[in-house]
């Protein structure tokens, strides 16, 4: 884990998942064995969402954020590399004036639904990343507050 309790790199998130609870460890093994991180390596994949910060519920998916300068190239490459995987589909979005274009690909890996989100924005500047980091910080503050209350 990075300084301040944040998981700023994919390696840090994966180490966190590998040593986390049973669900997180399962997610780690699925991501490792599926080869998705290797397939997406050129796009700086980052595991995000509810699983890394331990607020997932039954049915939660594994989210992978990616940085793709050219979404057409990204979509074509991903379709060619993993398009045959169960329940694979991609959609384009971002047609609203205040929204950047993106591609979302969904697939099933074992018992996990996986969502791959790509945008021509570095991962650490994407809304999903920023949202997760804020949630993580809040959870850390609440945990610290509860620890102080119980000790006092």
pLDDT over 80 (residue 5): no
Q: Rounded to two decimals, what is the model's pTM?
A: 0.88
Q: Considering the domain boundaries, does residue 152 fall inside one?
A: no
CB 52 within 8 A of CB 16: yes
Average pLDDT, the chain: 89
Q: Considering the domain boundaries, does residue 1 fall inside one?
A: no
What's the number of domains the chain is made of? 1
- pLDDT tens, residue by residue, 116-146: 999 999 999 999 999 999 998 898 888 765 5
Full domain range(s) for residue 92: 6-147
Query: In angstroms, how far is the first alpha carbon of the chain from the final one?
Result: 28
The CATH number of the domain holding residue 12 is 3.30.460.10
């Amino acid at each position: 884990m990075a300084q301040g309790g944040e998981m700023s790199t994919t390696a840090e998130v994966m180490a966190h998942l590998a040593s986390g609870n049973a669900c997180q460890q399962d997610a780690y093994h699925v991501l490792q064995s599926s080869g998705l991180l290797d397939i997406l390596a050129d796009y700086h994949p980052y595991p995000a969402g509810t699983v890394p910060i331990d607020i997932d519920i039954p049915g939660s998916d594994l989210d992978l954020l990616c940085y793709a300068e050219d979404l057409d190239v990204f979509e074509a490459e991903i379709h060619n590399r993993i398009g045959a995987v169960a329940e694979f589909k991609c959609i384009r979005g971002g047609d609203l004036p205040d929204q950047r274009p993106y591609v979302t690909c969904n697939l099933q890996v074992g018992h996990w639904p996986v969502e791959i989100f790509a945008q021509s924005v570095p991962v650490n500047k994407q809304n999903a990343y920023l949202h997760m980091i804020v949630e993580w910080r809040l959870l850390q503050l609440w945990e610290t507050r509860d620890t102080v209350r119980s000790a006092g």
